[in-house]
Amino acid sequence: MSGTKEMPLSIQDLPNSYIGRSVPRPNARRLMEGRGTYVDDIQLPRLVHVAFLRSPYAHAAIESIDVSAAQRSPGVVRVVTGTEMAKHCTPWVGVLTHLKGLKSAPQYALAVDRARWQGEPVVAVVAQTRAQAEDAVALVTVEFKELAPVVNMETALDPATPVIHPKLGDNLAFERRVEAGDVDAAFATADVVVEETFHFGRHTGVTLEPRITLADYNAGDGKLTVYMSSQAPHMTKHILAEHLGLDEDDVRVVCNDVGGSFGIKIHTYPDEMSAAALSIMLKRPVKFLADRLESFVSDIHARDHRVRARLAVKRNRITAIEIDDLTGIGPYSVYPRTSGVEANQVVNLTGAAYDFANYRAHCRVVFQNKNVMCQYRAVGHPIAFSVTEGLVDAAAAKLGMDPAEFRRLNLIADDAYPYTAASGLRFEKLSHQKSLAKILAMMNYDALRREQAALRNNGVYRGIGLAAMIEVTNPSAAFYGVGGAHIAAQDGCTIRMDPTGGITCATGVTEQGQGTETMVAQIAASAVGVPIEKVRVVTGDTDTTPYGGGTWASRGTGIAGEATLQAGRALRANILEVAGALLQSAPTGLDIRNSVVVDAGTGTERMTLSDLGKTVYFRGNELPDGVRPELVATRHYAPRAYPFAFTNGLQACWLEVDVETGFVKLLKYWVVEDCGTIVNPRLVDEQIRGGVVQGIGAALFEHCIYDDQGQMLNASMADYLVPMAAEMPDIEIGHVETPTAESVLGAKGAGEAGTAGAPAAVANAINDAIGVLGAKVTAIPATPQRILKGLGKIDKGQ
């Protein structure tokens, strides 16, 4: 197929396109040799280290602090309390105007007067080494007066419960209601109603590289450089400047290699703000590195929801869903993204894969004296889909209908788009039906059901769990910017050609291992017409990359990828204009293939890019008059037509429950995902697999367990369980490709889908396995204890 003038080649059809190819990640090689640059690998002259005394209590008044012994401890440079820190770092408040009514209290870098969760930093100690700083922390004496902690979110709003921030009046941070259609009538006239209460444990990200900040203030020029393990350098730059009293242009944030983030490393943390403030106070580099025990009580937690839900069915069709969501977020709404977003997402997303009109949702977000909670991979999605899919399975069971067939009858039809969900979400184009058909074929569903039935006769309890899902990707300004946050929805790419013919791309999105730099290189190489080996990609440095939002909400490929494509096309046009002048040919008759300018029609080589580059940069005298070469181009892109480009998918889990021990063995897992245009199939699949395994972690293992005094009981890597290699199944992945029409590239995000759907698929599979015994589990993680309780074999535990 050759391109005609009427139909220009699409990016996928270019002669040397890398779109759709599983190119290995060039930047992974150095990581495999231990030659990466994580923040802790950076050594700076006069570097000192900060360690924190953290509140041992969930809620306590700080009566007095004695730092004299700590100050005399060997190697100590400075000891700082909350009152002093407040003079150097102003407090922040995590609210956004579009989350109407959301309230929170000022949060300080170090607690002033009162500590509000176990783990809140109270005193900072700076010393020559981290060990010396920790030695001195042990010598700080703080008189705490314990106050009654607010721990249980169910009673947080009771009049008898203490108010954590008296000035706020109560412990309610945020509340939202949605009402669509006639819910009461739908339930009153239903053939079948199912009702359930679901519990979701708190868990956290456990990035293998802990949070780390190395702040280097140069008093000579008044500039602050901060090396961080972060997902959003430009956002962080703004926050540092805002609260440390600096001009934003005097702050530079650099993110080199990042050892996992998953949404953990995108929030404002008091310990990291303290480290930056201390660097300014001491006029020297200061490093803060969370140790693992600190990570568990200071990295944001996620989930922690209780959802009461019911679903109505009439003539085998879902007619209504009603949910009531309660979530506890710790003592502060986290800045700047706020802690209202997860509950808001639960309200938006519940039921959203299904075609029904009557929807009532109510969410309440309450303060409590536990670690703060905020956005982590697949924000709100696992809750919304666990609730929906749990109800859908329950309804199918009550109707005596196969759960796959019930989904087929109720998922939104593939020809129904554009479609507006009952919750108000707008979908451009999704492919639920095609995806369902594909996954059922992949897993050989009918044969699996027969195998399940046969094994049951032998006392082997296996289950199949299905979960339909959608994912919020490519967010527009509607997500944060509209509410007043300095969080860029657009992203940019600057792409230039050097005299060598080499291409350098600088982009505002960041790399945490998902393959951002490879994706950008693939698109740039394709758009310009060079081999990928000729492309370098720069990320993570606010001094050298275009202003952008960074990497979150599955926006890298869909937004920065499109900006790269547009910038690459612009550079290509610039190159061809110069080439046309030098070769006395019309630029429209020329093309760039494999780093050579060729005649578009015949492919005849005319000039290499390296020759062109050398002419432009070194021998400008050879250029015809009037030619002003610009071998650089910048383009920015932000979606506007839709607030989000939703993806969709189906997940399926096949597992076995040992009904004597309650242990679950995962046997196989399938995913069908529609994330639009796929730039790199392998990288997409690996995002999905990694995401599924984090979702499996939530479903079976991960839980921040608190006692009734607000003490986290399992705050170590030994006690907090994460998935290990031996327990994980092989995950087979299939795709449907429905590109978004809003961009030329057509890509949507893929980073969170796995995590969004896996808890629902696993929980449904467990209940499918033990349902025949009359058992059911509606709380995750579905531990052996909970499963045995569901089976009636033990009566303790929750």
Q: Using CB under 8 A, which of the segments 36-44, 177-185, 415-423, 591-599 binds another protein?
A: 36-44
CA distances, 171 to each of 102, 148, 336 (Å): 11, 14, 20
| C-alpha to C-alpha distance for 517 and 560, rounded to whole angstroms | 11
Residues numbered 156 to 175 that lie near another protein (CB under 8 A) are: none
Answer yes or no whether residue 209 interacts with another protein by CB under 8 A.
Answer: yes
The minimum distance between CB 750 and another protein, in angstroms, equals 13
Answer yes or no whether residue 25 interacts with another protein by CB under 8 A.
Answer: yes
Contact 479, 555 (CB under 8 A): no
The minimum distance between CB 260 and another protein, in angstroms, equals 4
The minimum distance between CB 511 and another protein, in angstroms, equals 9
DSSP 8-state secondary structure symbol assigned to residue 87: T
Sign of CA dihedral 473, 474, 477, 478: negative
| C-alpha to C-alpha distance for 127 and 554, rounded to whole angstroms | 39
Which of 104, 236, 514, 740 is in the footprint of another protein by CB under 8 A? Answer: 514
| C-alpha to C-alpha distance for 158 and 724, rounded to whole angstroms | 41
Which of 70, 139, 151, 206 is in the footprint of another protein by CB under 8 A? Answer: 206
Q: Which residue's CB is nearer to another protein, number 465 or number 723?
A: 723
Which of 13, 63, 622, 730 is in the footprint of another protein by CB under 8 A? Answer: 730
Answer yes or no whether residue 668 interacts with another protein by CB under 8 A.
Answer: no
- For residue 177, give both structure tokens: 């209601």
Answer yes or no whether residue 748 interacts with another protein by CB under 8 A.
Answer: no
Query: Rounded to 5 degrees, what are φ and ψ at 761?
Result: -65, -40
Answer yes or no whether residue 35 interacts with another protein by CB under 8 A.
Answer: yes
Answer yes or no whether residue 450 interacts with another protein by CB under 8 A.
Answer: no
Which of 148, 208, 219, 641 is in the footprint of another protein by CB under 8 A? Answer: 208
Answer yes or no whether residue 751 interacts with another protein by CB under 8 A.
Answer: no
Query: Which of helix, strand or coil describes residue 691?
Result: helix
Which of 2, 43, 584, 602 is in the footprint of another protein by CB under 8 A? Answer: 43
Which of 722, 744, 773, 794 is in the footprint of another protein by CB under 8 A? Answer: 722
The minimum distance between CB 218 and another protein, in angstroms, equals 24
Tell how many helices (H) and how many strands (E) occur in the chain: 19, 29
Answer yes or no whether residue 512 interacts with another protein by CB under 8 A.
Answer: yes
CA distances, 103 to each of 94, 254, 330 (Å): 8, 32, 13
| Residue 737: CB atoms within 10 Å | 15
The minimum distance between CB 513 and another protein, in angstroms, equals 3
| C-alpha to C-alpha distance for 742 and 588, rounded to whole angstroms | 26
| Residue 731: CB atoms within 10 Å | 22
The interface mask with another protein, positions 55-74, x = CB under 8 A, is -------------------x
Q: Which residue's CB is nearer to another protein, number 149 or number 205?
A: 205
Q: Using CB under 8 A, which of the segments 26-34, 461-469, 610-618, 654-662 binds another protein?
A: 26-34
Answer yes or no whether residue 781 interacts with another protein by CB under 8 A.
Answer: no
Q: Which residue's CB is nearer to another protein, number 257 or number 389?
A: 257
Query: Rounded to 5 degrees, what are φ and ψ at 159?
Result: -60, -30
Of 677, 688, 680, 621, residue with least CA distance to 651? 688
| C-alpha to C-alpha distance for 200 and 202, rounded to whole angstroms | 7
- For residue 493, give both structure tokens: 């790419």
- For residue 578, give both structure tokens: 């110069």
Q: Using CB under 8 A, which of the segments 148-156, 365-373, 510-518, 519-527 binds another protein?
A: 510-518
Q: Which of 9-23 are b and which e, b meaning 16 or more Cβ less than 10 Å from the residue's Cβ? A: eebbebeebbbeebb
| C-alpha to C-alpha distance for 136 and 139, rounded to whole angstroms | 5
Residues numbered 259 to 288 that lie near another protein (CB under 8 A) are: 259-262
Answer yes or no whether residue 717 interacts with another protein by CB under 8 A.
Answer: yes
| C-alpha to C-alpha distance for 251 and 230, rounded to whole angstroms | 15
Q: Using CB under 8 A, which of the segments 63-71, 488-496, 582-590, 722-730 binds another protein?
A: 722-730
Sign of CA dihedral 637, 641, 644, 649: negative
Q: Which residue's CB is nearer to another protein, number 291 or number 533?
A: 291
| C-alpha to C-alpha distance for 760 and 390, rounded to whole angstroms | 7
Which of 207, 348, 386, 542 is in the footprint of another protein by CB under 8 A? Answer: 207
- Looking only at Cα atoms, what is the longest distance across the chain? 89
The minimum distance between CB 240 and another protein, in angstroms, equals 24
Q: Using CB under 8 A, which of the segments 12-20, 200-208, 349-357, 704-712 binds another protein?
A: 200-208
What's the 3-state SS for 203-234? EECCCCCCCEEEEEEECCCCEEEEEECCCCHH
Q: Which residue's CB is nearer to another protein, number 38 or number 617?
A: 38
Answer yes or no whether residue 515 interacts with another protein by CB under 8 A.
Answer: yes
| C-alpha to C-alpha distance for 554 and 456, rounded to whole angstroms | 41
Angle formed at CA 133 by CA 130 and CA 137, multiple of 5 degrees: 135
Answer yes or no whether residue 716 interacts with another protein by CB under 8 A.
Answer: yes
What is the DSSP pairing of strand 358-366 with strand 596-599? unpaired
The minimum distance between CB 175 and another protein, in angstroms, equals 34
Q: Which residue's CB is nearer to another protein, number 22 or number 433?
A: 22
The minimum distance between CB 689 and another protein, in angstroms, equals 4
Query: Which of helix, strand or coil describes residue 178?
Result: strand
Which of 121, 201, 205, 580 is in the footprint of another protein by CB under 8 A? Answer: 205
What is the DSSP pairing of strand 596-599 with strand 426-427? unpaired
Cα distance between the two ends of the chain: 62
Residues numbered 678 to 697 that lie near another protein (CB under 8 A) are: 682-683, 686, 689-694
Residues numbered 210 to 239 that lie near another protein (CB under 8 A) are: 210
Q: Using CB under 8 A, which of the segments 77-85, 204-212, 447-455, 738-746 binds another protein?
A: 204-212
The minimum distance between CB 151 and another protein, in angstroms, equals 27
The minimum distance between CB 483 and another protein, in angstroms, equals 30
Chain-centre distance for alpha carbon 187: 36
| C-alpha to C-alpha distance for 689 and 684, rounded to whole angstroms | 9
Q: Using CB under 8 A, which of the segments 2-10, 399-407, 431-439, 511-519 binds another protein?
A: 511-519
The interface mask with another protein, positions 126-145, x = CB under 8 A, is -----x--------------
For 403-448, the DSSP string reads: HHHHHHHHBPPTT--SEE-TTS-EES---HHHHHHHHHHHTTHHHH
Answer yes or no whether residue 725 interacts with another protein by CB under 8 A.
Answer: yes
The minimum distance between CB 271 and another protein, in angstroms, equals 17
| Residue 744: CB atoms within 10 Å | 17
Query: Rounded to 5 degrees, what are φ and ψ at 730?
Result: -75, 145
Q: Using CB under 8 A, which of the segments 53-61, 106-114, 715-723, 739-747 binds another protein?
A: 715-723
CA distances, 727 to each of 281, 651, 687, 778 (Å): 49, 18, 19, 22
Contact 511, 27 (CB under 8 A): yes
The minimum distance between CB 691 and another protein, in angstroms, equals 8
The minimum distance between CB 751 and another protein, in angstroms, equals 11
Which of 113, 158, 247, 291 is in the footprint of another protein by CB under 8 A? Answer: 291
| C-alpha to C-alpha distance for 261 and 299, rounded to whole angstroms | 11
Kindly determine how many residues on this chain lie close enough to bind another protein according to the rule CB under 8 A.
Answer: 55
Q: Which residue's CB is nearer to another protein, number 372 or number 721?
A: 721
Answer yes or no whether residue 363 interacts with another protein by CB under 8 A.
Answer: no
Answer yes or no whether residue 257 interacts with another protein by CB under 8 A.
Answer: yes
Give me the residues that bind another protein (CB under 8 A), please.
Answer: 24-25, 28-29, 31-36, 38, 40-41, 43, 74, 131, 205-210, 257-262, 291-292, 512-515, 682-683, 686, 689-694, 716-718, 722-726, 728, 730-731, 754
